[in-house]
């Protein structure tokens, strides 16, 4: 008989061939986990190849998920349970497994051929090399086939169901209900009754196998997390961005227009938005990124909320047009779902190395506001804010997310639409005198007049504009003045955005300054360090340009300032230049989230002097 | 569905002054651009759209300053990218009448890709390509329409490349209206531009435009009163391909190629048909401007009715609404699996 | 002047293994790309050039990983820009044999402009367009060659645009060698690629390539043994346009258009002529792939001899040297007005 | 009778309609002035329109030149002599004329129509408004016509010669010989004897008029400047860049390949290089800037010295490819002739606002070396150095010049080609083992193998590379390592470049740090300030990335650090971040060189505490 153990938090990783359906399996586990009320955080990790040859190391696709009975923000540094569907998956992922961690391996996949492809000389399931772990070697393929013996599909199709068998095992192990996945199978394979049958059977078979056999001795339970009451759903960063944009457009009374071009890991924003024609969302798959951003600017110019989304190489191409939007002062949201660089880099990996590109990747003095999401769900709020500021200030705004946020998921407390404030930024109307470059003294923003408005016909362009009239001007003093005005306008944004997250004392030994997706890791590391008695303070920036006003005072109250980033040190340079404090970077540029324990160590080092 | 309130409804009549902005025109004296500007200001009152619904979009080049001089909405873009801006403008607000003003460098060098994609998509905008076969604004380098061997600042020993034939490119890319006109034939120009503007879908007009500073006389052969009759054949719908000072020559189709012959009336005359010319003849006609000993065709090559991208998008939105209902924000946020925490 | 030392001179014979690099091939099992790779490795020994003189240049896409698998020089470029890299490579060193490997998105979406300019310039490189009518690498969005109404991730309600016809674009842009082949017709593919590689000037081959993951069966009609004979007409020089399971049909030219008819021998049979087909028929042939009820032409559409850009550049350099003498650096620095300060 | 006065330095400005030939007139004056041995510095200043309608303010074209009997480096703040060919030219330029300065005006052009076009209510030549100046109102058009009465050309053509008449006056006034210009006229109009006659006559007539009439009472002489002995020529920045590249290529034994696309003010580099086919220079006018840089990378890859030149908007388009060159480690020289921004900005004006773009205008961590020319002639040396480092380190290198340097001219001591060192950076050769990403420990540069080299076949691309082999690698630690290596490689450049210019004490109240084309102004301002007794030190950076090692120590020895730039403060931010000193910017973003006197005042303010 099995015993049941309570756990606080668990990290599980599903790993197999690109064709093994690991992303799907992980997503199902996530959905079910969300439904039972755990907090959670996920990290899909898949290769750049669409479907690399079976069994190879570079073809391994992984999906990691941490779930917990308390608030968590990272997918976990170390893995407690590794599901390995083949030798390559084991080989690639074993390094992440904690001592005495659990391995559930598909023994049938450990054929000679596969072992060789993975570079194993001997079968690790048998040679004792996995002694430090709890190994469960299960003939998953064979058991699945047996379970499906009566289903009328090809044996190739039967083998495709083996991921559901593995999922069934883990559902038993963590006392999860099967309903969510069973329902999903019915919807997904609607019209294909044999596949519904096969996958349901495989799932049940895995669950029953684990329940029935003596192999597994322990089930684990993770209590519901205590969080704000309300209605929740699971959401990825790319989904959240999409929803945030749709809500922003509706709240602003402008149709949403996305001009885009596919690129990993930003494409899903285009895919998501393309579904919502009935929300008056227009998506335009352009011929390239330049046309994508150009069409978005054109759409904004004629009254829509123009948005473009891409990743580093695509953003590079957009830079000329972004400068044009700065000059013409047309609202635009530019989303950069950052990935590993430089150049094509590591397309499916995460990184924060495009911050400087957002700040400075244009010719001339072309300042613009920059906001970065801190978690998958925060992508909703940042998208809303980005759109709001773009419209309010008639400016392009950069929204930075990254591969980890884009594909990672967490529970999201669904807001009440009625509670989200309107974005009331009027357009110029007929009948009044109109000066295209007259500015609101509070924001320094100009008021736009859109085509179709009688009597307000005017011309804009990328040549320097005369103050007030917007006519072309080569006047030296006017240019100097306009350069200043554009800069000041961006600074004014500071008055209209929420303050950054801050925790800890307002002075002390160490202040951590972070931005973007490192939020989760820093959260955990700070929590951990505090548990260890380190009095560390932490400010997490969401708006990076302009920097929050309070930071200037705060930052000088600390002996040390540490800036963790997944780049070679970008925000840290901006902080140093701005505040002249000897801020230090903590940089690990591996295409992966930072590791909590490394950061904890780094923090500790500041207290061990 | 087109919701433009036309002038007739509004009962107001424009004159060309209504389309003249307060900006001083900044082209070289004698530049062919002036004539195109004049025709545009003249035809817009004819077009019957409200001036606040008109948008001129351009790239960069001498020609691309055009929007500044029109008292309509206008966007002077960046080099080569006017089609991108125009696509966004038209798709976001299909009620607008959108013109793209571009040069041979702007449209066919840096902007070649946007140009062919615009044609392919058949977005309802009208493209005027000011072809002076030179980069004017940057002071005279050869362009993708300059003849091979051209000596310019950037090709002091002669350029090495064959030019593009803009009409051919537009035809191949799928533009539904394709025409050619000339700065120095103002009547024809005005009529052609008006027809182009009225056409639903991507309309493309190549305009031979003289740059009297850097490429003076490039089209002299076709515009000079002495030589034009023998060197230009006007394409007129349902009329023969006749030309010559005495209207004494015509283009004869031998089943594969055009030939120049003395004109003779026949029982089954070969007449031009903009709506439905076979692709073979379209391209054969387009090729004539590349050949020696043939007149250059001026007029409308193609005028085909086809659904526009903007109309299809509007239709798709309506259909999705019909099947799914107008979107509800709260429902949207709550889609997928949800759960309650109490 | 071509200074390539050919294999004959070197007396060494390659096998396909000589062109196989040590990198594992990373395409989905079943992908049509494998066949193209295999044919390329097979034909290179035939081509008679030294492998160190061969460069494969690509953009980004599944297809663009191709260079990694060839044991020659290779440059995996950035999206859409392989023609730019290839132009520089070939112009800097005309002795090299340069291939451009590209996809329908790479060549015709983001890279459309470079593609048409390469064709126009007639730089001596060979372009292989792997047309799977989908964006493979980014997991299945419609491409500029996808049929209208295509349902993909980015067009859940159907795409709104007409596709490009790559052959038409290449013809219009002025490529001197234009052909089409298919991944599933390896013999034809190998022969066509070899002919393309041997042609001096920009050679373009559209290859129908099955993406069995995101657009499986797109070309099934043309490759399936049951349907291919009725749906494909092979273009063979100096031969009739015959096709059909029993070779019982042919394309008849009515002076304006092709028609499908039962084949009858005639005294003056209409035969294909790659070297000198009139533009009318070239485009009419190219159009067939867009029409219902017509077979798709596969084979060489055009093969014209014309001076290449690279050869012209070399010639120009030689001519300038002849007239001005080989440049002398000191003289260069001292050109213009000089004066002495003592 | 006239008297003769010695002057130390003079600033003269020719101004007229775009069609009046002012650039040509200025250039002729410059050539003659160079020949008589003055030091000089020029500033062409022309409108973005090719030939704006006659008589308008925006159609005014100007050419300013300072010449001197001692070393100078700026075209002068204030003008001593203004030649105004029409009212608009007077109106636009009067602000630059010093008190009691000389005006030579073409009285015939002050017609009612022209006065109106220029916005004059009354004729300034007659209404006494020019009282504070020495006004010479000359009927230049009429006198020219009279001088050419017998020449058989149209009167329109005759009027075209009036600039030579004006030039003749100035030649007399400054005791210049006519020969240089007479010779030039003969060459320029070879085959058109009437035009030769006309222009020669006009020049002579102007000279004689000034000599003969009582109107002008003083001639001025400016002694030869005492400079290094040797052979000199006048050179503009764009010419110097072109020559530097040709020499670099020949010294490196590689053919020169320029992949370009016209853009103001960089086009002349393309035009210049296109002339030199007999130097094995290949220029390729591409379809756009992306293809331009792409072809240059391709050419470098196959063994040439690949170069691309553009200005801000074009550089923006090149950014994706520049990142690719960083990743593939292929030599490339990227020249940015900076102009006013953002966006299309002020195409014909100068600015230094693309420094950040050079540093950071790419996705991911993509560091590269950056060098900036300090004067027109220095463009030669910097081009040489940029090419050398590009080849030595297998890296893209940015060379920053600007509109002022590009079109400005100064005398250049022509070097002896034999004295310029070879650029000996071998390519990999057949027969040895070849690892594409194996690095030279001294430079961390990899060795390139070019196509055509037997046995060294290999593949490169924009995906992250495995150390040593250069194979595609998604390995996390490898990525981290490669990011560091690319950064360190750039830092190593510091060991191979000349030290920056430094003058003054090594400690004190004020250190000025400057870069690029402000050199001239800073030179004059520092000279002036020192004359006033201010002990100011000055370092001028030519290589900006990496920063010179000595700067770190030096900069902390000063109470204040001042960074003058023609932007809103870019180098100053880099300095602050790097050295944590409270460096201040001195920024005037007017599309023009900084003004010496303003900088002198700023310097003084630091000593008046
Ligand atoms: C990105 C970019 N590249 C280059 C330029 C410089 N440029 C401006 S207009 C032009 C070409 C103009 O030629 P064309 O389009 O034929 O117009 P025209 O002046 O002849 O009317 C060029 C190269 C620019 N403004 N922006
Ligand atoms: C600048 C840039 N934009 C977008 C992408 C993303 N991307 C990579 S390949 C590709 C399209 C691939 O389609 P295709 O060229 O047809 O090649 P296939 O994968 O089908 O062989 C896209 C959009 C990129 N890598 N770089
Ligand atoms: S340069 Fe040529 S195209 Fe430009 S304005 Fe002058 S005449 Fe017209
Ligand atoms: S996604 Fe399609 S094109 Fe790409 S490798 Fe797989 S099957 Fe081939
Ligand atoms: Mg032009
Ligand atoms: Mg494809």
Q: Are residues A210 and A275 in the same domain?
A: no
Average confidence (pLDDT) over A90-99? 94
Which chain A residues are Cβ-neighbours of D480 within 8 angstroms? 588-590
Kindly determine whether residue A363 and residue D316, on different chains, have CB atoms separated by under 8 Å. yes
pLDDT tens for each residue of A349-368: 999 999 999 999 999 999 99
Whether residue A59 is found in the same domain as residue A157? yes
pLDDT at B3: 45
- Using the mean position of ligand 6's atoms as its centre, give its distance from the Cα of residue C111 in Å: 13
pLDDT at C269: 84
Give the pLDDT confidence of D252-290 residue by residue, as tens digits: 999 999 999 999 999 999 999 999 999 999 999 999 999
Nearest-CA residue for atom 5 of ligand 4: C27
Same domain, yes or no: A55 and A183: yes
Pair (A408, A270) in one structural domain: yes
% pLDDT > 70, chain D: 100
- The domain that holds D527 is classified in CATH as 3.40.50.920
Model confidence at B2: pLDDT above 50: no
- The pLDDT tens digits for C294-336 are 999 999 999 999 999 999 999 999 999 999 999 999 999 999 8
The pLDDT of residue D443 is above 90: yes
Rounded CA separation C136/C151 (Å): 14
Most trustworthy range by pLDDT among A221-225, B338-342, C178-182: C178-182
Q: How confident is the model at residue B6 (pLDDT cuts 50, 70, 90)?
A: low
More confident residue, D211 or C125: C125
Last residue of a domain, one of A222, A244, A260: A222
pLDDT tops 80 at residue B8: no
Residue C189 has pLDDT above 70, yes or no: yes
Computed over every residue of chain C, the mean pLDDT equals: 95
Hey, are the CB atoms on B52 and A277 less than 8 Å from each other? Answer: no
Q: D102 and D148 share a domain? A: yes
**From chain C, which residues contact B within 8 Å (Cβ)?**
109-113, 116-117, 120-122, 144, 157-158, 160-165, 168-169, 171-174, 253, 255-257, 278-284, 287, 309, 312-313, 316, 319-320
Residue bearing the bigger pLDDT, A330 or A52: A330
Between positions 478 and 497 of D, the ones with CB within 8 A of A are: 479-480, 483-484, 486-487
Identify the helix (H) or strand (E) that includes residue C281.
Answer: helix C279-287
Q: Before C169, cis peptide (omega within 30)?
A: no
Q: Does D483 map to a domain?
A: no
The CATH code of the domain that includes A117 is 3.40.920.10
Residues counted in chain A: 609
Relative orientation angle of helices C166-173 and B166-173, to the nearest 10 degrees: 180
Q: For D477, which of A338, A359, A590 is closest by C-beta distance?
A: A590
pLDDT tens track for C110-132 = 999 999 999 999 999 999 999 99
- One domain for residues A112 and A42: yes
Instruction: Kindly state the DSSP code that residue D419 receives in the 8-state scheme.
Output: G
Task: Give the pLDDT mean for B277-288.
Answer: 97
In this structure, the answer to whether residues A237 and A184 fall within a common structural domain is no
Task: In whole angstroms, give the CA distance from residue D459 to residue C70.
Answer: 9
The alpha carbon of B139 and the centre of ligand 5 are apart by a number of angstroms equal to 10
Q: In this predicted model, what pLDDT tens digit does every residue of D29-60 receive, in sequence order?
A: 999 999 999 999 999 988 877 777 888 998 89
Q: Do B325 and A278 touch (CB under 8 A)?
A: yes
Task: State how far residue C75 is from chain B, nearest Cα, in angstroms.
Answer: 23
Q: Which pair of structure tokens corresponds to residue B150?
A: 């051209």
The string of pLDDT tens digits covering residues A403-455 is: 999 999 999 999 999 999 999 998 999 998 999 999 999 999 999 999 999 99
Residue among C339, A596, A44 at smallest CA distance from D35 = C339
pLDDT score of B152 more than 90:
yes
D4: confidence class by pLDDT, cuts 50, 70, 90: confident
Residue A110 pLDDT class (50, 70, 90 cuts): very high
Determine the residue among D338, D363, D398, D473 to mutate to test chain A binding: the one whose Cβ has the most chain A Cβ atoms within 10 Å. D363
CATH class of the region C7-321: alpha beta
Contacts of C316 in chain D (CB under 8 A): 277
pLDDT at residue A338 is higher than 50 = yes
| pLDDT over 80 (residue D372) | yes
Average pLDDT on B207-220 reads: 97
For the ranges B59-63, D124-128, D267-271, the lowest mean pLDDT is seen at D124-128
What distance in angstroms lies between residue C10's CA and the mean position of ligand 3's atoms? 57
Residue of the CA atom closest to atom 6 of ligand 4:
C28
Cα angle, residue B335 at apex, residues B329 and B341 outer, rounded to 5°: 105
Q: Whose CA is nearest to atom 6 of ligand 3?
A: B28
Nearest residue of chain D to residue B113 (CA atoms): D287
Amino acid C11: pLDDT: 54
Lowest mean pLDDT among A161-175, B292-306, D34-48, D317-331: D34-48
User: What's the total number of domains in chain A?
Assistant: 3
pLDDT of residue A331: 98
Task: Judge whether A346 is closer than 8 Å to chain D, CB to CB.
Answer: yes
The three-point CA angle C303-C304-C310 to 5° equals 110
Residues in B closer than 8 angstroms to D281, CB to CB, are none
Strands (E), chain B: 54-58, 73-76, 97-103, 125-131, 177-182, 203-208, 232-235, 242-243, 249-253, 258-262, 296-303, 338-341
* pLDDT tens for each residue of D389-430: 999 999 999 999 999 999 999 999 999 999 999 998 989 999
Question: What is the pLDDT at residue A1?
Answer: 45
Q: B269 vs chain D: nearest CA distance in angstroms? A: 43
pTM over 0.90, yes/no: yes
For atom 2 of ligand 4, which residue has the closest CA? C211
> From edge to edge, which strands make up the β-sheet containing A409-413?
A409-413, A230-236, B338-341
**Is residue D293 a part of any domain in this protein?**
yes
Cα torsion through B109, B113, B116, B118, rounded to 10: -120
Q: Is A360 on the interface with D (CB under 8 A)?
A: yes
Question: Per-residue pLDDT tens for C206-222?
Answer: 999 999 999 999 999 99
Res C10: pLDDT: 52
Domain boundary among A198, A222, A246: A222
Share of residues in chain A with pLDDT > 90 (%) = 90
C303: left (phi over 0), alpha (psi -120 to 50) or beta: beta
Residue in chain C lying closest to D306 (CA): C88
Q: Is residue A367 part of a domain?
A: yes
Contact state of C154 with A313 under an 8 Å Cβ cutoff: no
pLDDT at C100: 98
Shared domain for D211 and D261, answered yes or no, is: no
Residue with tokens 């006056």: D169
Q: Among A200, A222, A244, where does a domain finish?
A: A222
Whether D218 and D244 share a structural domain: no
Mean pLDDT for the stretch of residues B321-336:
95
Q: Is residue D170 located within the same domain as residue D146?
A: yes
Cα–Cα distance between C48 and C46 in angstroms, integer?
5
Which value does ipTM take for this structure?
0.95
Looking at the predicted structure, is the pLDDT value of residue D193 above 80? Answer: yes
Contacts of B142 in chain D (CB under 8 A): 285
- Token pair in block for residue C336: 């213009």
Q: How confident is the model at residue C4 (pLDDT cuts 50, 70, 90)?
A: very low
Note whether residue D274 is domain-resident.
Answer: yes
Coil vs helix vs strand at D225: coil
Q: How far apart are CA C174 and CA B207, in angstroms?
A: 22
Share of chain C above pLDDT 70, in %: 96
Structural domain for D340, as ranges: 233-419
Kindly report the average pLDDT of chain A as a whole number: 95
* Mean pLDDT for chain D overall: 95
Phi, psi of D11 (to 5 degrees): -115, 125
- Which is more confident, C165 or D56? C165
Residue A557, both tokens:
């109250």
Structural contact between residues B142 and B159, judged by C-beta atoms closer than 8 angstroms: yes
pLDDT of C5 over the 90 cut: no
Q: What is the pLDDT of residues A209-252, one digit of tens each?
A: 998 887 788 888 899 888 899 999 999 999 999 999 999 999 99
**Of all helices (H) and strands (E), which one includes residue B142?**
none
Share of chain B above pLDDT 90, in %: 91
Residues with CB under 6 Å of ligand 4 are A 50-51; C 27-28, 31, 33, 62, 132, 136, 211-214
pLDDT tops 80 at residue A257:
yes
Higher pLDDT, D20 or D2: D20
Cα-to-centroid distance, C135 and ligand 6 (Å)? 4
Mean pLDDT over the full length of chain B = 95
Which of chain A's residues have a Cβ under 8 Å away from the Cβ of D349? Answer: 474, 479
Measured distance CA(B53)–CA(A451) in Å, rounded: 6
Q: Which of B120, B284, B309 sits opposite C279 (nearest CB)?
A: B284
**pLDDT of amino acid D21:** 92
Q: State mean pLDDT over B245-267.
A: 93
Distance to chain C for B19, nearest Cα, Å = 34
- Domain assignment present for A461: no
Of the listed ligands, the closest to the CA of C63 is: 2
Residues A150, A240, single domain; the answer is no
Probe ligand 2: pick from C138, C141, C183, max atoms within 8 Å of CB?
C138
Question: To probe the interface with D, which of C333, C334, C335, C342 has the most D CB atoms within 10 Å?
Answer: C333
A217 and A257 co-located in one domain: no
Q: Is the pLDDT of residue C8 over 80?
A: no
- CA D420 remoteness from chain centre: 22
């Amino acid at each position: 008989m099995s015993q049941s153990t309570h756990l606080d938090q668990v990290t599980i990783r599903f790993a197999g061939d690109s064709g093994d359906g690991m992303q799907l399996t992980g997503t199902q586990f996530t959905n079910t986990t969300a439904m039972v009320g755990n907090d959670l955080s996920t990290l899909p990790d898949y290769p750049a190849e669409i479907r690399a040859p079976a069994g190879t190391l570079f073809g391994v696709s992984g999906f990691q998920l941490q779930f917990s009975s308390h608030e968590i923000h990272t997918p976990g540094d170390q893995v407690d349970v590794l599901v390995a569907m083949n030798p390559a998956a084991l080989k690639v992922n074993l390094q992440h497994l904690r001592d005495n961690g659990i391995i559930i391996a598909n023994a049938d996949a450990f054929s000679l051929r596969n072992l060789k492809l993975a570079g194993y000389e001997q079968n690790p399931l048998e040679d004792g090399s996995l002694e430090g772990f709890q190994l469960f070697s299960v003939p998953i393929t064979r058991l699945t086939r047996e379970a499906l013996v009566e289903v009328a599909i090809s044996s190739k199709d039967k083998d495709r169901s083996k991921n559901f068998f593995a999922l069934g095992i883990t559902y038993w192990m963590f006392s999860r209900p099967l309903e969510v996945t069973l329902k999903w199978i019915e919807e997904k394979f609607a019209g294909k009754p044999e596949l519904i049958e096969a996958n349901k059977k495989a799932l049940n078979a895995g669950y029953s196998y684990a329940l029935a056999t003596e192999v597994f001795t322990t089930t684990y339970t993770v209590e519901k997390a205590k969080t704000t009451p309300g209605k929740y759903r699971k959401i990825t960063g790319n989904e959240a961005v999409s929803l945030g944009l749709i809500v922003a457009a509706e709240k602003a009374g402008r149709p949403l227009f996305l001009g885009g071009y596919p690129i990993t890991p930003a494409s899903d924003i285009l895919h998501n938005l393309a579904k919502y024609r009935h929300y008056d969302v227009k998506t335009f798959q352009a011929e390239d990124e330049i046309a994508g951003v150009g069409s978005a600017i054109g759409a904004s110019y004629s009254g829509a909320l123009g948005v473009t989304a891409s990743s580093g190489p695509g953003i590079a191409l957009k830079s000329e047009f972004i400068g044009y939007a700065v000059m013409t002062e047309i609202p635009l949201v530019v989303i950069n779902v950052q990935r590993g660089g430089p150049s094509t880099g590591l397309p499916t990996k995460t990184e924060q190395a495009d911050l400087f590109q957002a700040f400075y990747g244009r010719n001339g003095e072309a300042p613009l506001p920059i906001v970065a999401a801190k978690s998958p769900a925060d992508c909703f709020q940042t998208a809303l804010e980005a759109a709001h500021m773009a419209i309010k200030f008639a400016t392009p705004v950069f929204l930075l997310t990254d591969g980890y946020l884009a594909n990672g998921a967490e529970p999201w407390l669904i807001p009440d639409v009625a509670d989200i404030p309107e974005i009331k930024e009027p357009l110029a109307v007929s009948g009044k005198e109109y000066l295209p470059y007259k500015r609101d003294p509070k924001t320094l923003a100009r008021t736009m007049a859109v085509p179709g408005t009688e009597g307000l016909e005017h011309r804009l362009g990328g040549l320097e504009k005369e103050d007030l009239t917007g006519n072309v001007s080569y006047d030296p003093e006017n240019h100097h003045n306009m350069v200043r005005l554009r800069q000041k306008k961006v600074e004014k944004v500071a008055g209209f955005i929420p303050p950054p997250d801050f925790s800890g004392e307002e002075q002390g030994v160490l202040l951590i300054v972070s931005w973007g997706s490192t939020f989760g890791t820093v959260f955990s590391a700070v929590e951990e360090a505090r548990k260890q008695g380190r009095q560390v303070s932490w400010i997490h920036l969401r708006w990076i340009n302009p920097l929050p006003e309070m930071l200037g005072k705060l930052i000088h109250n600390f002996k040390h300032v540490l800036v963790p980033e997944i780049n070679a040190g970008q925000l840290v340079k901006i902080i140093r230049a701005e505040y002249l404090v000897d801020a230090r970077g903590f940089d690990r540029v591996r295409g992966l989230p930072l590791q909590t324990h490394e950061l904890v160590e780094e923090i500790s080092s500041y207290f061990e002097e | 569905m087109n919701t433009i309130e036309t002038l007739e409804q509004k009962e107001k009549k424009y004159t060309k002054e209504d389309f003249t902005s307060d900006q001083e025109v900044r082209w070289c004296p004698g530049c062919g651009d002036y004539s195109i500007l004049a025709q545009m200001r003249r035809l817009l009152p004819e077009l019957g759209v409200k001036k606040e619904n008109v948008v001129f979009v351009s790239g960069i080049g001498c020609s691309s300053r055009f929007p500044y001089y029109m008292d309509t909405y206008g966007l002077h873009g960046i080099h080569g990218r006017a089609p991108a801006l125009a696509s966004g403008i038209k798709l976001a607000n299909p009620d607008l009448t959108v013109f793209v003003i571009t040069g041979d460098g702007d449209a066919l060098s840096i902007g070649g890709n946007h140009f062919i994609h615009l044609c392919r998509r058949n977005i309802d905008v009208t493209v005027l390509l000011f072809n002076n076969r030179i980069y004017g604004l940057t002071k005279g380098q050869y362009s993708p329409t300059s003849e091979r061997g051209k000596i310019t600042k950037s090709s002091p020993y002669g350029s090495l490349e064959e030019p593009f034939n803009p009409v051919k490119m537009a035809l191949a890319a799928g533009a539904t209206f394709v025409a050619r006109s000339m700065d120095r034939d103002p009547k024809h120009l005005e009529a052609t531009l008006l027809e182009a503007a009225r056409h639903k879908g991507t309309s493309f007009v190549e305009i031979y435009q003289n740059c009297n500073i850097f490429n003076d006389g490039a089209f002299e052969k076709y515009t000079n009163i002495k030589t034009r009759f023998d060197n230009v054949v006007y394409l007129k719908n349902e009329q023969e391909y006749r030309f010559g000072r005495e209207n004494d020559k015509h283009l004869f189709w031998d089943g594969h190629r055009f030939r120049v012959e003395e004109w003779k009336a026949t029982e089954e005359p070969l007449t031009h048909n903009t709506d439905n010319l076979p692709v073979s003849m379209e391209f054969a006609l387009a090729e004539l401007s590349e050949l020696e000993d043939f007149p250059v065709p001026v007029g409308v090559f193609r005028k085909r009715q086809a659904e526009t991208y903007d109309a299809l998008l509007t239709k798709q939105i309506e259909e999705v609404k019909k099947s799914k209902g107008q979107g509800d924000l709260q429902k949207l946020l709550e889609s997928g699996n949800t759960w309650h925490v109490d």
